[in-house]
Amino acid sequence: LPTHFTLPSGDKIPSVALGVWQAKRNEVGNAVTVALQAGYRHIDGAWIYRNEAEVGKAVQRSGLPREQVWLTSKLWNSFHAPEDVEPALDETLTKLDTEYLDLYLIHWPLARKDGQPYDKELTENSYPTWQKLEEMVAKGKIRNIGVSNFNVRRLENLFTNPLKIRPAVNQVEINYWFPQPDLLKWAKEHDLLLQAYSPLGGTGKVKDTLTVPEIKEIGEELGMTPAQVVTSWHIQRGTNVLPKSVTPSRIIENFQVRALPDELFNKLETAATTHKPYKRFNPSKGWGLDFDIFE
């Protein structure tokens, strides 16, 4: 399996990242330390996870040169106004104790300051926010830029603008229950890397994933654990995989990926793409939006 994917900038992004969403403070630092020791070189974080300072300390403590660790963060919904982008980025850089990010994403296609109704115009058209991100790349504060939770309609919308830099990635929910084959096909045709969040199914659904008969059988046949079958499958499909764990044995386990023989890969791909898709995570209602953020 490829250890890296190459982005349009030429930068090589490590195939497996440690995801730190829902990794609590006082847990996340140790998880990062264990991951870096196990060979991970990619941490997928965000401003809103509220653990960036602890992630930054653990990366520093590892003693690894900065250029050997890939750091991703994400611009929160309340900072989409162009004048808010750089201060938000600066806060993340300070917390992570670094001069630059390898990748910075628009976290959601939603522009909304705290306590205010959402900004319809800036939500439907992310270009003003995007231009500011392009400027941050020019300034050297970010190496690559992308989006998260964008559907094809929103991506196409963004692409109609005279972009200086095209989005390098789109980070979305992808797992056995919601494998998104159409989005994946579209992304490949547009030289856009998909990053799979909740790759094991997400908290509450992981057990169901790891007991899917096809996944168990493939694991038994290859001497891999079900989690390893799943993380390997993601990479083999051509997506970046971002498993979250704060448990040392699982962090190590999830990183041990290996190519599945074509026949077994196809068996899993067929199983994943022929059941009714089930999307676990949609915050639209919880956020009180009058629209579905994925439509």
Shortest spacing between CB 147 and ligand A2P, in angstroms: 20
CB-nearer residue toward ligand A2P: 118 or 176: 176
104 is catalytic: no
Residues 208-237 that bind ligand A2P (CB under 6 A): 227
Shortest spacing between CB 287 and ligand A2P, in angstroms: 20
Sign for the CA dihedral angle at 52, 91, 73, 111 comes to positive
Torsion region of 291: left, alpha or beta (phi above 0 gives left; psi -120 to 50 gives alpha)? beta
CB-nearer residue toward ligand A2P: 116 or 249: 249
Tokens of 285: 């209602």
Q: Which residues pair with 14 in a beta bridge?
A: 4
Shortest spacing between CB 4 and ligand A2P, in angstroms: 20
State yes or no: 107 annotated in a binding site.
Answer: yes
Shortest spacing between CB 248 and ligand A2P, in angstroms: 9
- Distance CA(202)–CA(281), nearest Å, equals 9
* Contact status: 202 vs ligand A2P (CB under 6 A): yes
β-strand 70-75 against 103-106: which pairing, if any?
parallel
Consecutive H or E run containing 71: strand 70-75
Q: Which residue has the tokens 């992630």?
A: 55
Catalytic residue among 49, 100, 118, 176: 49
* Contact status: 241 vs ligand A2P (CB under 6 A): no
**Taking a C-beta distance cutoff of 8 angstroms, is the pair 175, 199 a contact?**
yes
* Contact status: 201 vs ligand A2P (CB under 6 A): yes
User: Which residues contact ligand A2P (rule: CB under 6 A)?
Assistant: 19, 198-203, 206, 227, 243-247, 250, 253-254
Residues flagged as binding site for substrate: 107
> Hey, which residues are catalytic here?
49
